[in-house]
Each structure stands twice: as structure tokens, then as C-alpha cells.
Amino acid sequence: MKNIRVRFAPSPTGYLHVGGLRTALYNYLFAKRNNGKFILRIEDTDQSRYVEGAVENLINALKWSGLEFDEGPEKDGGFGPYFQSQRLDIYKKYAADLVKNKNAYYCFCSPERLTALRDEQKSQNLQAKYDKHCLSLSETEIKEKLDARIPYVIRLNIPSFEKVVFNDIIRNRVEFDTATIDDQVLIKSDGFPTYHLANVIDDHLMDISHVIRGEEWLSSTPKHVLLYNFFGWEIPQFAHLPLLLNPDKTKLSKRQGDVAVEDYRAKGYSPEALLNFVALLGWNAGDDKEFYYMDELIEKFSLERVNNSGAVFDIQKLNWLNTEHFRKLPKENLLSQLKSILADSEFNDANYSDEYLLLIIESMIERVTSVKEILEKSPYFFTDPLSYEEESKAKNWKPETPELLNELAKRFALLGKITDKHDFEKPLKELAAEKEIGAGKLIHPLRLAVSGMSTGPGVYDLLYIIGKEKTISRIGKAVKAI
């Protein structure tokens, strides 16, 4: 079997789409499963769509996800450069060979003529295609136009009345009639190649064995097959992945939710959960298992088990997987994440001990789905409450509450060294018994006073973590504020 070499070849147009992440992941899994190489290539020939910083964002998103490429920018494996904009002379050479062999031709048609041609075809309900007008130009006419520096493109000369047939690992036999294929532009008027020419040349020169990409490129594949045949090159194996769909079965788009890997990272989703989730968008191992670590995905993955129908992006499933991965993480990992998040937060000037942070993690682990949510749902571990939940005030803060809480604070002050959360429980229950009230009459306003909220970990856990001094101080502030 030929050495397995696959590539992920994004355009630097902004963020890494979750569909792009799935394509990268499937390429990565296939390479690792077969002891192959995973290559990152930047397809930046469309300069009009180039976004500053996008390459760095792409690489950072891949690294955050755990998809380390074997070759690519700053990782030369002998097949570089890995930016298409640095390979222009290569494309021009091969384009010239195609023209010389009549497999491509110069086209000098003006934008106005092309627009008029499309409008005429549209009015007759015909497929919009170039009419090969410039294919009939003589060598003399071509030379005169080139000498006159008339703008031109180079087009692929699609043969007439032929069938282009290729095998797709996911879709099996695929067949196209050349009558439906346009004479694709290969070199644009700015001298840059289009995707079609550049990717075929690069895949050949980089010795790519399998082209694993999205379904949207399936209709372009016959053009690529023709190019391979014109050059006399071996055709790689193709695998076109199914579309990602919104719940309403439309193509996944930002209009219906987040589509960027960066968005999910910012919201606190773990890379392990996101990769687990996107792996299942179109693939399964033939069983009902849904929770996977990376090493298990590598062991189980095969292109033959990728579906050919669209996969629905179910955010509820992602949330469930994120929670499962989160709760299985070692405490040391959670601690490291929490420290990192705190360092980038408004609480970055405080010096929290590992013991304190681990107590917080332990108390919140069943109440959140990410480390980031700890700060969002329990800021009271890091700062005094700045406000108090209105609904809880109306329900739990009675006229007698300030007097009861002040008395409770006095009893807390008499406690010696706190060694257990139940140290707070005894004085609270004694006071409730003396006043002949239910413990809830104290617990609910006490929670509100020390946290500003009505929900969270057990109230005694909360008091134990923030400590006696802070508990007493916050009770005093709440009595004055509410």
C-alpha cells in the first residue's frame, strides 16, 4: 500500500469552521490509524479573501484541538513551501504545459462579454458555461493579444461527449458527463491559480495518497480527474464527507448558531468534547458508543464507516459530551484550567491557594459543564456579592431576617478553628430550634447574604470554602444593603 499522506488545506479567510475541524479531524484520524502523515497546507491564492491573522488563528485552533500536523508551515517535511502563494512559479510552469498540449487555452474575453453570455444562457434556461469562444483563436491572434498585454485567463479545455468516472470511498462509483462541466479558469488574470489547478498540482507534488474533503467539492472532482489524466499523474483516492446540517436540515450556518471553533473554545467547551462530537457527525464505529477519547477514535476510525448523508449538528449532544468529558478530567487538569481562566479574568490579582481552588472545583463539578462556568455561576468564591437576587429577596428576606442573621453571625464568631463544614451546621440548627422556626428560614437568606444567589453548592459547603471571617463579613454587608 502506498504511504498514507493526507492534507488539510484551509483558506485563510477568518476562523476555523466546525466543518473544517471535522475535515481536519478525519484526515488526522485516517493518517494516525494508518501510520501516515497529516499535512497542513494553506490555500491562500485568493488574495481578495485573505484575512490578516487568519493563518495564526487556524494553527492555534488546530493545536488547541490537539490536531498536531506532521508537515506544514514551520514544519518542513521536504515538500514545501506549504503556502500556495509561495508556489506561483510551479503553477505557471504546469499551466504552460497544459496550454502547449492543447489541454488548456488562453481566454481574452472581457467581463462584459462574459456577463452578456451568462445573461443570454439564463434567458434560455441553459446551464451557465463558457462557450469556448477563445479556443478557436489562431496562434498569431494569441501572440498579438499577449504582446498587446490584453488581460487573459487560462481555461481548462474540457473534452466533449465523454464520461468522467472515479471511485469515492464514501460514495462508491461517481460519474459525470463532460457536457455538464464548464471550462474552468485555471490561472486568473492576476496570475494566481484557482483552487482547481493549485490543489491538483500540490496534491501530486506533495505525494498525497487520499483527498478527504467536504461534499461541496464533489462536483469539482471531474475537473481534477481530467487534470490528473492530462498530466499523466496517478489519481489519489477521494473521500467526500457529508454536509453538516442545522436541526431544520439546512446547511450549517452562523445564522442559526456558532460555527467557529473559537466560539466554542471561548464558551468553555473542552477540545476533547468538541473533537468527540464532530467525529460523530457522519461517522460511527458500528455500535452505540458515543463517548470517545482520541486514542479510541484513532483505533476505531475508518472512511468506510462515514455516511454519505448530511449530519445534523445537535448542540444538546455536544453539551452532554462536554459535561461527560469535563467530569472525567483529573482534578489536576481542572485546577490548571481554572488557574488559567482566573489569570485572564477580573480576579487575576488575587492569590488563591491550590487547596482553595480544589474545594471550589469539588463543590461545583456536578453543577457546571466547563471550568469557565465556575466563574460564571459562582463568582462569590472570588468576590463579595455586588447585588442580591431579586426573586430570592422577595421570597426569603423577611422583616425578622436581619435580626436572625445578626444573631447567627455572633454564634459563628464564637466558633473556634473550622475543621469541617458541619461546624457551621450546629449553631444554625440550634438557633432555628430556639426560635421554633424551620432551618430553611435561616438557610435561604444566609445563602443569599453570602453569595447573592439562591442556587449553588450546599450552604455548609459554601460557608466552609469561603471561611468564617468572610461569612460573618458578608452577613453584615447584606443586612445593611437589603
Active-site annotation, residues? 254
Cell of 388: 442580591
Cα radius of gyration rounded to whole Å, the chain: 32
Helices 401-413 and 425-434 cross at an angle (nearest 10°) of 140
d(CA 123, CA 439): 80
Q: What are the respective helix, strand and coil percentages of the chain, to the nearest 5?
A: 50, 10, 35
Q: What are phi and psi of 134, to 5 degrees?
A: -80, -10
393-to-193, 357, 387 alpha-carbon distances in Å:
66, 29, 11
The residue behind cell 514545501 is: 80
Among 251, 231, 232, smallest CA distance to 242 is for 251
Cell of 267: 464558551
